[in-house]
Amino acid sequence: MSTENEMMALQTSGGDRPSHVTEIKPRDHPIVIIGAGDYGRSFAGRLVRTGFRVVMGSRDPERRRPIVPEGVVVTSNSDAISRGQIVILAVPRDAFSELAELRGELTGKIVVDVSNKEKLDTAKSNAEYLSEEILDKSSVVKGFNVVSAWSLESGLVGGSKEVPICSDDKEAKSEVIQLAKDMGFVPMDYGCLRAARDVEAIPLRLLPGWRFANKVMFILMAAMSLYVLFQGPLYKYVTFGITKDVQHFPGKGMNRVLAWLALTLLALVYFPGIIAAFRQLARGTKYQRFPDWLDTWLKSRKQLGLLALLIATLHAIFSACLMSPEYYYHMYELGPVIEGRQFYGLMFWRGELLVLTGGLALALMSVLGVTSIPSVQNAMTWREFVFVQSKLGFLCLFVGTVHCIVYGSTGFNKSYLYIWYTPPPVLLAMLLPCLIILLKVLLLSPCLYPRLMRIRKGWESKPKAIPV
């Protein structure tokens, strides 16, 4: 309010502007873009749509003029640079050497480098090279390199609006930050130009937050596939020479793997939280850092949950395709034998309970997946989010475990399923979820839950000694 009053006083009295009030400079000059490629044209189009005047420089203006967006002036590089103060350099690093001829024209200009490297390395960034080796008398700013040409063309729909910006020149960086805001982006100040090494690495990283989850999923899938293959088709082939189960492994066998994998991934979402809770109880504080492996695991819970939803969906599709008495005969009533062929009736109650629990578990997992979407998550209160991800999440794990128990309930006591002294896969699939559920019940017991809540509110069983 005080700033507004001071500004109004200036307008009425004509006094000098207070030193702490930032002077707002009008944009009298157009934005200059050097480079008429796909990215340069997309950037120019976005600027025009947001109300800016744009001049594009090219080595061959006549050839480029028909393909640039309407409202963009196309001229030579030297002429374009002379018309503006902010120059968007939309050319790859390979073309930086040609800028030496324009060094004089670019002196004192704000040059925004939007280029990216072709591979991750520890060498200097493109922006640093440009600032130190070629345009040492210009204010080089790194920015907009994380924005694709498609995102610019589509009006920023479907892409992230966050734009990291860094430079050694604070005033130049402020100008570019304001430009990004005017274009509809959310600029992020990354500091000095050395940070361009991290900024240029952002587009080159392939799903960095998914590496742990993907690695866990593929390792588990490989191990489970080998175990299911060993337990069924391989055993029958080695012992009896039967190849029928080998032929059905891509469908029925992989469906068992998918069911086991989906339940295990879901269990792994909640297991690190259980470990962290018992660790806090044992140490009597929440202020001790978790080990790196546990910290990585905790940060990957969202990805593990989404992968569990993906695998569970595939399991549901496989089950719908294979659901017949020929595959799951123990779920159907026996009918008459006609001409040597066994016919079946309706499902037992066990089969219908299997379908019910499976469908309910998939529905709950879908709710968990939807609420992990940032736009949905931002529309929820913290209490609502915790209720869905924690309470409904454990309910989903419980229903999924019941689904597994119902499926295997007809075979736990059958000795022929324990092949070569190994338990059936369905029994192994139940162990981890059942363990997590039991540990969760233990944490909710009156002897542990109040202490855990006090610790998470900041209470410590062994307060630090105060130095004398």
At a CB cut-off of 8 Å and minimum separation 6, what does 113 contact? 89, 126, 127, 130, 140, 141, 142, 143, 145, 196
Token pair for 123: 């060498």
**Position with higher pLDDT, 3 vs 338:** 338
**Position with higher pLDDT, 262 vs 322:** 262
Token pair for 208: 């960095």
The pLDDT of residue 378: 79
Sort residue 159 into left (φ over 0), alpha (ψ -120 to 50) or beta: beta
Beta partners for 167?
Answer: 141
**Whole-angstrom distance, CA of residue 47 vs CA of residue 176:** 13
**Position with higher pLDDT, 195 vs 334:** 195
Q: Percent of the chain having pLDDT more than 90?
A: 57
Burial 307-328 (b: 16+ CB within 10 A, else e): bbbbbbbbbbebbeeeeebeeb
Q: Do 178 and 202 meet the contact criterion of CB atoms below 8 Å apart?
A: no
Distances (CA, A) of 259 to 132, 163, 266: 57, 41, 11
Distances (CA, A) of 210 to 149, 262, 304: 25, 17, 8
Q: What are the phi and psi torsion angles at 341 (to 5°)?
A: -110, 130
Strands 332-338, 186-189: pairing kind = unpaired
Sort residue 275 into left (φ over 0), alpha (ψ -120 to 50) or beta: alpha
Over the chain, what is the mean pLDDT? 86
Q: Do 54 and 73 meet the contact criterion of CB atoms below 8 Å apart?
A: yes
**Whole-angstrom distance, CA of residue 172 vs CA of residue 189:** 12
Q: Percent of the chain having pLDDT more than 70?
A: 91
Beta partners for 72?
Answer: 54
* pTM reported for the whole predicted model: 0.70
Strands 139-142, 162-167: pairing kind = antiparallel
Sorted by where each starts, the structural domains of the chain and their CATH numbers stand as 29-204 (3.40.50.720), 208-456 (1.20.120)
Q: In the predicted model, is pLDDT for residue 159 greater than 80? A: no
Q: In one letter, which amino acid is 288? A: Q
Q: In the predicted model, is pLDDT for residue 65 greater than 80? A: yes
Q: pLDDT confidence of 6, banded at 50, 70, 90?
A: very low
The pLDDT of residue 157: 61
Q: pLDDT confidence of 346, banded at 50, 70, 90?
A: confident
The pLDDT of residue 464: 55
Q: In one letter, which amino acid is 8? A: M
Q: Do 161 and 186 meet the contact criterion of CB atoms below 8 Å apart?
A: yes
Q: Do 304 and 368 meet the contact criterion of CB atoms below 8 Å apart?
A: no
Taking residues 155-174, report their average pLDDT.
Answer: 85
Q: Do 109 and 77 meet the contact criterion of CB atoms below 8 Å apart?
A: no
The pLDDT of residue 466: 47
Q: pLDDT confidence of 438, banded at 50, 70, 90?
A: very high
Q: What are the phi and psi torsion angles at 155 (to 5°)?
A: 75, 35
Token pair for 290: 């978790």
Token pair for 327: 């595959």
CA angle, 446 then 452 then 453, to 5°: 95
The pLDDT of residue 418: 79
Distances (CA, A) of 307 to 209, 215, 221, 267: 13, 11, 12, 12
Q: Which segment of 108-112, 172-176, 218-222, 339-343 scores lowest on mean pLDDT?
A: 339-343
Place of tokens 């191990």: 223
Give 123-135 pLDDT, tens digit per residue.
Answer: 889 999 999 999 9
Burial 69-107 (b: 16+ CB within 10 A, else e): beebbbbebeebbeebbbbbbbbebeebeebeebeebbe
Q: In the predicted model, is pLDDT for residue 12 greater than 90? A: no
Q: Do 186 and 162 meet the contact criterion of CB atoms below 8 Å apart?
A: yes
Taking residues 141-162, report their average pLDDT.
Answer: 82
Give 170-184 pLDDT, tens digit per residue.
Answer: 999 999 999 999 999
Give 81-111 pLDDT, tens digit per residue.
Answer: 999 999 999 999 988 988 888 999 999 999 9
Give 250-290 pLDDT, tens digit per residue.
Answer: 888 899 999 999 999 999 999 999 999 999 999 999 988 99
Taking residues 390-398, report their average pLDDT.
Answer: 94
